[in-house]
Each structure stands twice: as structure tokens, then as C-alpha cells.
Chains A and B, each alone.
Chain A
Amino acid sequence: MNSSRCAACKHLRRRCPSDCIFSPYFPANNPRRFAYVHKIYGASNVGKILQDLPVSRRAEAADSLYYEAYCRIKDPVYGCVGLITILHQQIYDAQCQLARIQAEIAALSSQSQSEVQQYRQDENVGPSFLPDQNGVPNSTSYYDISTWFD
């Protein structure tokens, strides 16, 4: 037997040919990687999936198969779908939170604008860029230059 067999061929107890579909992605120094993938998908299915892909995409496919197999072994009921479900829920919660905060901001924004308008009406205050009575420039960043030309 070839002493430099890949992890797949070692696991399957067969000769590792020079064009072995598995050997670039299941090196001999990581037997667990192929063991997981084999347990969940089977060697034949993994071989078919890799074979159907261009060579440039096979490494990523082998990795994703490994991680999905890993998830399934850790959680036989839900596998990585459990993680997807959790993420969907967290995204929904975050969106609700964001909507609540944006609604608060909108409410406070309209409240403060109406307070400023009311203040100007009550006090007959001129253009807001004029400093207040202490000489401090008004913090409201509203400049109404239309009154300059009255």
C-alpha cells in the first residue's frame, strides 16, 4: 500500500491513486476531517459533489462539507440548521430593537422641534443664530437668514 495515502484512502483502506479526488482536501495528517464527512455524507456522495465542481471551488466545498458534518455530529437533530434558526431569531430581535429606538428618536426629534418653535413664538425670539442674553451662541443649529432682508 502507498505510504502517502490521503486520509480518505486510509479510512477506506484502499490504494490512493495519483489523481485521487480526496487527497488535496483530506490530508493524511487530519484523519478526523474525512471521518466526520464520511460519517454524515458518505465517501461516494462527497466524491460526486467534489467531482461536479470546478477544481478552483473544491477546497471551499470540502471545508463547508466538513463544517456541516461537524455541526451535525455535535447536534444530530438540527445540525447547522440550528445555528441558522438562532441567527434568524437574533436578527429579528435586533430589527425590533432598532425600530423601537428609531421610533423613540423620531418622537424626541419632533418633540424638540415643536418645543423650539413654541419657544420662539412665546418669547418672540429673533433668528436663532443670535447669541442668547449671556452672549453664548445658541446651540440650535437653525439659521433663518430670511429675516435679514425684511
Chain B
Amino acid sequence: MIDDTLRVNKRRSGMKSYQEQTRSSTSCAACKFLKRRCTPNCQFAPYFHSDEPKKFAKVHKVFGASNVSKILNEVAEDQREDTVNSLVYEAEVRLRDPVYGCIGAIASLQHRMAELQHDLILARARLASYVGHRPSFLDDHGGLLVAPSIDFPESNSLPFDQFGRFHFP
């Protein structure tokens, strides 16, 4: 009896049911989310599989489908998977921390790096005292690991040091 009901409903919806079936069975997560037909050359399909709906939802919420599409168009095809993964990561972090997003994570990592550099200086000095010569901080890496710095543009409210690094407030 249930089967009969299903068959009747399918007959009633006709072509719409066929289209929905096509969309639901072959649509990528992006097209399902956007409620549109997923074409064979859909730009999103290789990276947003239908079994990962949350992945596209996060990216859509932060960046929007149109902007993701533009970014993907700018990069080479063999780099698109990495691009999508980094966009998904950024979106996740932004949703978790709407104020600082990935910048907060960078600031924390830089802080940790500064602590380690300090520990390394102390450890090298202590080691040098055992070996019996002055500690050298000018080895092949300069004795210090320098965190990467990029020339960030001017800041308004986030505190930066002279190297353009973020300081977590």
C-alpha cells in the first residue's frame, strides 16, 4: 500500500519528480545547497561531494558561492583542491571565532614561536656553559628561528609590532 502511494505521488509530480530525482542523486553538495541543477561540468562538483553538505555550507556562509567560484577561476586546476581546502579551513575558523578568524590563530602561533625562541636562547646559553665557550647565536640559521613576516598593510585596531606581526590582545 505504501508502494502504491509512492507510485501515485510520482505520477502526480511527473517531470518535476524526475528532475528532483536527477538533482538529488547526482547533484554535488553545492548545487544541492543552492537548489539548482548540477551540470556535468559543474565547477564545484569535484570539491564539494554530496556526502559533505556542511563543507559547502560553511564556505557559502563566509565567502558566498559567487566569490568561491571567482577564486577557483583564478587558480590553476591542479591547485583548486588545495584552494578549496584552505577556504574551508578559513571558513571554519571564522565561524568559530567571528572576531579574529585565522588572524587569531596566527597571533597565537606567533606568540608560541616567541616563547620557543626565548627557550632556545636560554637552552643554548646553558649548553654553552657546559661546553665552556660563549654561546654563539650566529650559527647557520643565525641561532634563532624567525617567524615569517609579511608586509601587512596599515592597521586600525589590531596591535602590531614593528615587524607587522599580530599581537593577541
Enumerate chain A interface residues (CB-CB to B < 8 A). Answer: 25, 32, 39-42, 44-45, 49, 52-53, 57, 59-68, 70-72, 74, 76-84, 86-88, 90-91, 93-95, 97-98, 101-102, 104-105, 108-109, 112
Chain A residues whose CB sits within 8 angstroms of the CB of B113 once the complex forms: 87, 90-91, 94
The reply to whether A42 and B124 contact each other, CB–CB distance below 8 Å, is: no
Q: Residues of A contacting B145 with CB < 8 Å?
A: 90, 93-94, 97
Interface residues of B in 9-32 (CB under 8 A from A): none
Q: Which residue of B lies closest to A87 (CB)?
A: B109
Render B49-79 as a binary contact track against A, CB cut-off 8 A, 1 for contact: 0000000000001111011001100110001
Interfacial chain B residues near A84, Cβ < 8 Å? 102, 105-106, 109
> From residue 91 to 130 of chain B, which have CB atoms closer than 8 A to chain A?
94, 98-106, 109-110, 112-113, 116-117, 119-120, 123-124, 126-127, 130
Contact call A25/B127, Cβ cutoff below 8 A: no
Residues of chain B within 8 A of A76, CB atoms compared: 71, 74-75, 83
B55 to chain A: closest CB distance in Å? 15
Q: Is the CB of A101 within 8 A of B99?
A: no
Q: Are A42 and B127 in contact (CB under 8 A)?
A: no
B146 to A, closest residue via Cβ: A90
A21 CB, nearest partner CB in chain B, Å: 14
Question: Assuming the A-B contacts A91-B113, A105-B123, are A64 and B62 also in contact, with contact meaning beta carbons closer than 8 angstroms in the complex?
Answer: no
Does the CB pair A87–B147 fall under 8 Å?
A: yes
From the candidates B62, B64, B104, B157, name the one contacting A59 in the complex (CB within 8 A).
B157
> Considering residues A80, A93, A97, which has the most beta carbons from chain B within 10 angstroms of its beta carbon?
A80
Jot down 23 A-B pairs with beta carbons below 8 A, ordered by A: A39-B67, A60-B158, A61-B98, A61-B99, A61-B100, A64-B102, A65-B101, A67-B158, A74-B150, A76-B74, A77-B75, A78-B82, A79-B86, A79-B87, A80-B90, A80-B106, A81-B102, A90-B147, A91-B109, A91-B116, A101-B124, A101-B127, A105-B130
Residues of the A chain whose Cβ atoms lie less than 8 Å from the Cβ of B110? 87
With contacts A45-B63, A90-B145 known, is A64 near B158, CB below 8 A?
yes
A40-B67, A42-B63 known; A64+B127 contact, CB < 8 A: no
In contact, B86 and A41 (Cβ under 8 angstroms):
no
Q: A41-B62, A60-B157 are in contact. Are A98 and B147 (CB under 8 A)?
A: no
Contacts of B87 in A (CB 8 A): 79
